[in-house]
Structures are given as structure tokens and as C-alpha cells.
Amino acid sequence: MKFISKIALSAVALAMMVSPAMAEKTVKWKLAMTWPSTLTPLASPPAKVAKLVEEMSGGKFIIRIEGKEKHKAPLGILDMVKGGQYQMGHSGSYYWKGKDISTIFFTTIPFGMTTAEQYAWFYYDEGMKYMQQVYDRFNVLNFPGGNTGVQMGGWFKKEINSITDLKGLKMRIPGLAGEVFAKLGVNVTNIPAGELYTSLDRGTIDALEWVGPGMDIKMGFHKVAPFYYTGWHEPASEMQFMINKRAFEKLSPENKAILLTAMKAASADMYYENFAASANAWEQMKSEFPNIKVKTFPLPVLKEMKKATDELLDSYAAKDEQFKTILESQRTFMKKARAWTIISDYNYIKTTMDVE
């Protein structure tokens, strides 16, 4: 201290003024997510964003993450980000369908787009525009937050051979898919995650839907329900990052760009992470439980599911102009996107199967 002259002290004081970088305070944000902190790959995008943002800003932008185990409000994320208790959230848009039915389009819909089709719609068609329109009323900005790819149709204790087999079946399946199954006579219930395995094992329920091999293997369902049905209801479930608008506006241009880029990189990465986890888990399940049978629902059942889905979507569209607009945007884009998917990805996989 004794070496510092009066002049030098003034100099340091002035340096604080003339150097915006030095004067700039560290930005500290909190992010609340629907998942427990350990639930990968869903919990991975927020963790990656926090790490990347800290590294890119040289420690001047810090995001602290709170999982469900801490804030205890997994389905309160949107309200907490809207209210500013958290600057950021990570969740699934379709959880807010009670607040606005149009939120479902930014996760996935039954018989809807694949991951590639949906990202093309988000970034190179009308998706981002409509997503922001829907979330404007909540005063939050909303961005893609990672995709699970095709989710499996669920674990069933008995094989489904006809519509009749669905009547009275007790199944845990949430969301629009649950509404479709209810239309087909299924007794749809919801059960907390922690009780699912026991409920399925003891026959309290006959079937349930979860995600895909990578996440399902941790739950152990394959040990008690041997029929694993292929997907129809969540072809590309996209998670969401939401940001309180006022908080975002206060960020420097650099921090805005850093946050947006980190979210885009981390959301793309979740798809790769979940894909690898499912490939590995599926190989393990099959070898440890060779009695598992992969089934696709019989065509008459699928046709009824498709009919029920279209009726549900059209009935929402009849009551809600915004829903109708976005449904039409998705249907229009999906029509041309699917034609391309079929001649590219679908035909390629078929070719590789045929030559074996």
C-alpha cells in the first residue's frame, strides 16, 4: 500500500471510469428447470449453456442453475420467469397448454414433424416467428432447448392386437396423446414419476409412455412390461429455453450474442447426446432382456389414432384463430418437408435394410 501515491490512486479511480470493461459488473442470472439436476439429457442444455456463457464472457456472465429438487415447482417455471424470480427457465412448451393451447406446437404434436423437419420449420420457415408471437403475452423470449427425437409409444404388459384391446386399458400417458388414447377408450391416468415402476409392476396400470431407451432404461420398465411400442405421438419433442424479456434487454450486445449462440449449440447437442444414449441403452436392454418385443400398433389402431388426432387439432383450430394459423403453417411446411424426408432419409434406411 505504501508504494501507491496519491496520483496513482487517482489514476486507478479514473481507470475505473474510462475502462468500460473494468467497470462492467459481473452479470449473475438464475435459471430454473423442470427437471432434477441429474436428469440427463434433459438437464444437459442448461448446464452446457451456463458453462459456455461463463467461458465465453471470461467469467463476466454467470448463470446458476436450479433443478426441481431445489425450487420444488417443476410446472411453475413459466410463471417464475415471467415474474422475474428467475431470469431464465428450461422446460417443455407443451406443459403450458392450459395457459395457451398454441404452446404445444413448439414441442411436438402426434403425427407431426421429425426433428430435422421441425428445426427447418423453426429456423428457415415460420416457426420462430410464431413461437415468439405466442410467448409475447407472457413477456418472455422463447428458444429451442434440445430435442429428444422420436419418443417410443410406451411399455405395455400385454400385446395390443386391436382397438378392443385398448378399451378399459389403464395407461399413464400425458398431453395430447393422452386425449387421443382417451378417445379410443383407454383409461388415461397420471402418476408421479417415482411411483411409475411399482404401478406398472403391480398392475395398477397396464401400460405407460416415457421417452425412449436412453431415459427409459434408468426407470426399469423393460423388466416388467415386455412390449415396447414404436412412436406416433411425440416424433420430435423440443425442450424450451425461456428468458425474461426485461432481463435480456439489460444485457450488453456481447452477452446477448453469447447467450443466443450458447443456446443454439447446446440445444443441437442434446439431440446427439440423447441419440447416443438411446443407441447404447437399446443394445443393453436387448442383450439383458431378450424377451423384449418391439411392436408397432396395428394399422386399424393407428388409423383411429390419426383420425382422433386430426379431430382434436381441428376442434382447437375452430376455437382459436392463432392455433389455426400455426397448425396451417406446420401442415403446409410438413407436406413438402415429408416428401423430402421420404426420398432422402427414409429411402436410404430402407436401402441399407434391403441390401443386408
317 residue type, one letter = A
Alpha carbon 181 to its chain's center: 21
Please, what is the minimum distance in Å from the beta carbon of residue 58 to a second copy? Answer: 4
- Vertex 96, ends 95 and 98: CA angle to 5°? 110
Nearer of residues 1 and 299 to a second copy, judged by Cβ: 299
> 180-219: which residues touch a second copy (CB under 8 A)?
212-213
What is the residue type of 295? K
b/e string for 180-218 if b means 16 or more Cβ within 10 A? bbebbebebeeeeeeebbebbeeeebbbbbbbbbbbbbe
Q: 57-116: which residues touch a second copy (CB under 8 A)?
A: 57-58, 111, 114-116
Q: Which of 230, 288, 289, 311 binds a second copy (CB under 8 A)?
A: 230
Restricted to residues 138-177, the positions that interact with a second copy (CB under 8 A) are 149-150, 152
Select the residue interacting with a second copy from 302, 316, 320, 329 (CB under 8 A). 302
Q: Assess 4 for contact with a second copy (CB under 8 A).
A: no
Cell of 172: 399413464
Question: Among 190, 143, 186, which residue's Cα sits nearest to residue 304?
Answer: 186
| Antiparallel, parallel or unpaired: β 140-147 and 27-33 | unpaired
Question: Nearer Cβ to a second copy, position 1 or 21?
Answer: 21
Interacting stretch for a second copy, rule CB under 8 A, among 92-100, 171-179, 202-210, 342-350?
Answer: 342-350
203, 280, 315, 321: which one binds a second copy (CB under 8 A): 280
Answer for which of 137, 174, 321, 340 binds a second copy (CB under 8 A) is: 340
Contact positions with a second copy (CB under 8 A) in 231-260: 231-232, 235, 252-254, 257-258
Least Cβ distance, residue 139 to a second copy (angstroms): 25
* 339 sits near a second copy (criterion: CB under 8 A): yes
Part in contact with a second copy (CB under 8 A); list of ranges 25-33, 202-210, 226-234, 311-319: 226-234
Query: Binding string, 21-40, against a second copy, x = CB under 8 A?
Result: xx------------------
Beta strand 154-156 with 170-172 is unpaired
Among 264, 312, 316, 324, binds a second copy (CB under 8 A): 264
What is the closest distance, in whole angstroms, from the C-beta atom of residue 45 to a second copy in the complex? 13
Separation of alpha carbons 48 and 93, rounded Å: 20
Q: Are 187 and 166 in contact (CB under 8 A)?
A: no
Asked if 45 is part of the footprint of a second copy (rule: CB under 8 A), the reply reads: no
Q: Which is nearer to a second copy, 54 or 320 (CB)?
A: 54
157/338 with CB nearer a second copy: 338
Residue 312 CA to residue 306 CA, distance in Å, equals 10
The reply on whether position 125 binds a second copy by CB under 8 A is yes
Angle made by CA atoms 134, 136, 140, in degrees to the nearest 5: 110
Shortest spacing between CB 84 and a second copy, in angstroms: 25
Q: Which residues of 113-149 are buried (b: 16+ CB within 10 A; e: fewer)?
A: bbbbbbbbbbeebbbbebbeebbeebebbbbbbbbbb
276 alpha carbon, distance to own chain's centre: 17
